[in-house]
Amino acid sequence: MTTANQTGTALTDSRRDHITALEHVNQRLLWLSAWTIHHANHIREKRDGLKVGGHQASCASITAIMTALYFHALGANDKVSVKPHAGPVLHAMHYLLGNQTLDKLTTYRGLGGAQSYPSRTKDTIPVDFSTGSVGLGVAVTAFSSLVQDYLIGHGQLQPDAAGRMIALMGDAELDEGNIYECLIEGYKHDLRNCWWVVDYNRQSLDATTADRMFRRFDDIFETCGWRVVTLKHGRLQRELFARPGGRVIEQWIDTCSNAEFAVLTYQGGAAFRERLLADIGTKRGVRALLDSMDDATLGQVMTNLGGHCIETLIDAFDACQDDRPTMFIAYTVKGHGLPLAGHKDNHSGMMSPTQMEQFRASQSVAPGQEWEKWAGLGDNLAQTLQHFVAHSPIARQQRGAPAAMIPVPPIPVPTGEENSTQAAFGRVMLDLAKTDSDLADRLVTTAPDVTQTTNLGAFVNQRGLFRRQECEDVFLNAKIPSVQKWQQHAAGQHIELGIAENNFFLLLASLGLAGDHFGTRLLPVGTVYDPFIARGLDALNYGCYSDARFLLVGTPAGITLAAEGGAHQSINTPLIGMGQPGLTSYEPAYADEVALMMGHAFDLMQRPDGSSVYLRLSTRTIAQAPRESSDWQSDALAGGYWLRRPAPGATAAIAFSGVVAPEALAAWADLAEDIPGLGLLNVTSADLLHRSWSARNAARWTGETPAPSHIEHLLAPLAADAGLITVLDGSPAALSWIGGVRGQRVVPLGTDRFGQTGDLPDLYRTYRLDSDAIIDAAAELFV
């Protein structure tokens, strides 16, 4: 038997059974997600008296969308970013699949339990993309699609293994500016294989979404090459509209404001009836049509929006099987199916115990069977649904083996008696580009329109710009001399971005997850002006939280940038490097340190217990340190080494980081006769020194055996009451803590004010970074 539905799609018995099964799964996800949150807040013991939280209404608005996607439309290679507040639905789904344990659900938002928001590193269920900071989990899917195209272009992924990168998003996320930065970048790179599904429930944390803006999203996305599919009405509504008087009700719904519709939804069918009769009751056929339904039926039909109709959703997904980027605007009701539906306070609200009992009864779940996967459905139906879920698209997805490690050969040291750390970085990248090593082939670089000024240009000359379609260099064809010889082709290894640091960090995160997502490891290297790291901090934190691996190069840094002025001079980035989990920070002073740390970074980025790496570099050319041996290297990688060793029992030492090495050396030379045995400590990583010291302190309280930290080892030769002078071109707080290791007096030098224009001698004198300032600081120690 075959009938036709309202969209003209053939509705066979098997398809009808398929839709029925999906509807049952949808109800189970609704129940389990709501119960998980209820259990955490009303049943589980609370020792601190605080609300555990959760978002029952936000879960309810998206359960049908997730059911249709995961159990019908998902392809074998598709990846999904789930909106943060739908985390309990994702956990419920994997509970039905057998991937999530009851213990994790009963400890939801507790220590070791299911996480509040989907987390790649904290959750035990498969999570493709971490979410939490709204907007970032959406935009990252576009960059992951670009990474997929990159791998295909390089022959590292077969075209038939491509999947869609899908984001399930709340409509309030469309207020996030990074969405539109991403949209523009995606258009530049001819984005494809990307779906964004908007749970358009028209309610955010504080308000009901304004009607005016949503009428423009079609234009914005279509202008950027997207197909926009609006799912406003479900099957029940479309059937209503086809009856006499139905078109009038359809027009009323289409012109009703979001706020008014929310109020009527919360009040129910009787309120809808009263309002419809008052507004359009005199129109032909309307009263008779309304009289044909009781209040419960009318309320059900009026809230049967496209995002809650399984049939409408799967028809829409099935109709978009090409690679064009597509935005689905799925109209929903926040809290659909719950007593909270439509209420403006339902974002953080949740059902009371009385309301939960009523909801339990409506779901036919008996007391004591709340965690049963198919409670209240009968054995035969339960077995049918368990089989359906076990053979669904999500159940068939396979997780690949960890990507193979890429060997890291020795990194040649740039030569020259004088050099800058930025130039050394560029030289290392160029030398690697000229080799045929696996490491060189897996490097992929990116920058937010600062490729040349951060010394990546030579690498790009060698390896080219990535473009899916080859583009001619018209300057080259015209034989016009240029230092840029950037061939654009599918095998290029540099992805150029516009000036948007959020895009930059999200692309780095996507490239750094290539091994997990696509089974092929890439080693991404991104350069950005050091002060502008702060413009993308949220996205940087997102990448680190997701355990993406990349090498971040911040350059030029500090007031050493001199003539560029305060807007381009970084102050607090050393503290960012120290405070950011998942990111190991180094600030080298010399070219050989740069080479050493880059080789270490390429290895660390691949280790299971590794991290991303941040190098803070400078354009200032300084004399290089002569080396008698390589003994310094292990200490440099651990966070610091003595450039001039102190004598046993020395009463003072100078500790510096990075580009101020000449000033520190000059001051040391002037002070060495007056302070016998004076030491000069090169702090290559305040981050690692502080981390190991903190770990030693923490070990006392965790039952572990405390191991001496590297900074304690370095300071051991000094007298117990020795004084310290610390200096760096950045916040003095990055080094001043060293005085607390042994309770020693410290005079910290650094910059804690916005800089200004000037030449280097003037700025170093004004901000007290010159050798005279260090000598004055030493005098302060002994006066």
How high does pLDDT run on average in the chain? 92
Q: What is the DSSP string of 451-470?
A: TGGGT-HHHHHHH-EE-SS-
Q: 477 falls in which pLDDT band (50, 70, 90)?
A: low
Cα angle 152, 156, 158 (rounded to 5 degrees) comes to 55
**Whole-Å CA distances, 765 to 483, 661, 719, 760, 781:** 36, 15, 31, 8, 20
Percent of the chain with pLDDT over 70: 95
Nearest Cα neighbor of 80 from 30, 141, 7, 157 is: 141
- For 107-140, write each residue's pLDDT tens digit: 999 999 999 999 999 999 999 999 988 889 999 9
Higher pLDDT, 752 or 7: 752
Structure tokens that stand for 327 in this block: 């935005």
Over residues 544-569, the mean pLDDT reads 92
CB distance 184 to 498 below 8 Å = yes
Over residues 186-192, the mean pLDDT reads 94
What pLDDT sits at residue 355?
Answer: 93
User: Computed from CA positions of residues 299, 301, 302, 304, in that sequence, does the dihedral angle turn out positive or negative?
Assistant: positive
CA dist 150 and 146 (Å) reads: 6
What pLDDT sits at residue 627?
Answer: 94
Cβ neighbours, 10 Å, residue 241:
18
**Whole-Å CA distances, 147 to 113, 136, 169:** 32, 16, 21
- Tell the residue number behind the tokens 């997780």, with chain if given: 399
Q: 751 falls in which pLDDT band (50, 70, 90)?
A: very high
Q: Given a cut of 50, is residue 656 above it in pLDDT?
A: yes
**Whole-Å CA distances, 242 to 53, 251, 281, 283, 386:** 43, 13, 17, 15, 36
Q: Calculate helix-pair angle for 310-318, 13-38, nearest 10 degrees.
A: 110
- Which residues, listed in sequence order, are joined to residue 584 by a DSSP beta bridge? 613
CB distance 502 to 178 below 8 Å = yes
CB distance 189 to 144 below 8 Å = no
- For 570-593, write each residue's pLDDT tens digit: 999 999 999 999 999 999 999 999
Q: Given a cut of 70, is residue 4 above it in pLDDT?
A: no
Q: Is the peptide bond before 556 cis (omega within 30 degrees of 0)?
A: yes
Q: Calculate helix-pair angle for 87-97, 13-38, nearest 10 degrees.
A: 120
Structure tokens that stand for 574 in this block: 């050393």
- Tell the residue number behind the tokens 């978009």, with chain if given: 320
**Whole-Å CA distances, 692 to 583, 602, 707, 744:** 14, 21, 9, 18
**Window from 55-64, 468-477, 625-634, 694-703 with minimum mean pLDDT:** 468-477
CA dist 398 and 3 (Å) reads: 36
Residue 673 phi, psi dihedral angles, 5° rounding: -75, -35
CB distance 614 to 585 below 8 Å = yes
Residue 73 phi, psi dihedral angles, 5° rounding: -95, -20
Structure tokens that stand for 420 in this block: 């800058």
Count Cβ atoms within 10 A of the Cβ of residue 61 and give its class: 0-12 exposed, 13-18 middle, 19 or more buried.
Answer: buried
Over residues 507-521, the mean pLDDT reads 96
Q: Cα 59 from chain centroid?
A: 21
Over residues 156-173, the mean pLDDT reads 93
- For 307-354, write each residue's pLDDT tens digit: 999 999 999 999 999 999 999 999 999 889 998 887 877 677 789 999
Sequence-separated (6 or more) residues with CB below 8 Å from residue 463 = 433, 440, 443, 445, 492, 493, 494
Per-residue burial over 678-693, b if 16 or more Cβ lie within 10 Å, else e, is: bbbbbbbbbbbbbbbb
What is the 3 state secondary structure string of 567-610?
Answer: HHCCCCHHHHHHHCCCEEEECCCCHHHHHHHHHHHHHHCCCCCC
Tell me if residue 123 falls in helix, strand or coil. coil
What pLDDT sits at residue 209?
Answer: 54
Cα angle 482, 484, 488 (rounded to 5 degrees) comes to 130
Q: 475 falls in which pLDDT band (50, 70, 90)?
A: low
Count Cβ atoms within 10 A of the Cβ of residue 226 and give its class: 0-12 exposed, 13-18 middle, 19 or more buried.
Answer: buried
What is the 3 state secondary structure string of 214-230?
Answer: HCCHHHHHHHCCCEEEE
Q: How many helices (H) and strands (E) does the chain have?
A: 35, 22
Q: Given a cut of 90, is residue 488 above it in pLDDT?
A: no
Q: 6 falls in which pLDDT band (50, 70, 90)?
A: very low
What is the 3 state secondary structure string of 268-297?
Answer: CHHHHHHHHHHHHCCCCCHHHHHHCCCHHH
CA dist 191 and 197 (Å) reads: 16
Per-residue burial over 707-738, b if 16 or more Cβ lie within 10 Å, else e, is: eebbbeebbebbbeebbbbbbbbbbbbbbbbb
What pLDDT sits at residue 1?
Answer: 31
What pLDDT sits at residue 10?
Answer: 55
CA dist 619 and 659 (Å) reads: 9
CB distance 747 to 777 below 8 Å = yes
Count Cβ atoms within 10 A of the Cβ of residue 705 and give its class: 0-12 exposed, 13-18 middle, 19 or more buried.
Answer: exposed
Structure tokens that stand for 762 in this block: 């003037």
Nearest Cα neighbor of 451 from 441, 464, 440 is: 464
Q: Say how many CA atoms lie within 13 Å of 696 toward its Cβ.
A: 13
Q: Given a cut of 50, is residue 704 above it in pLDDT?
A: yes
What pLDDT sits at residue 216?
Answer: 79
Tell me if residue 125 falls in helix, strand or coil. coil
Nearest Cα neighbor of 510 from 542, 533, 536 is: 542
Structure tokens that stand for 640 in this block: 């610091």
Q: Calculate helix-pair angle for 269-280, 246-255, nearest 10 degrees.
A: 100
CA dist 310 and 234 (Å) reads: 8
Tell me if residue 196 falls in helix, strand or coil. strand
CA dist 666 and 770 (Å) reads: 9
Longest dimension (CA), the chain: 104
Q: 3 falls in which pLDDT band (50, 70, 90)?
A: very low
Higher pLDDT, 699 or 434: 434
Amino acid sitting at position 224: C
Q: 8 falls in which pLDDT band (50, 70, 90)?
A: very low
Would you mind telling me the total number of residues written for the chain in this entry? 783
DSSP 783: -
Amino acid sitting at position 261: F
What pLDDT sits at residue 202?
Answer: 75
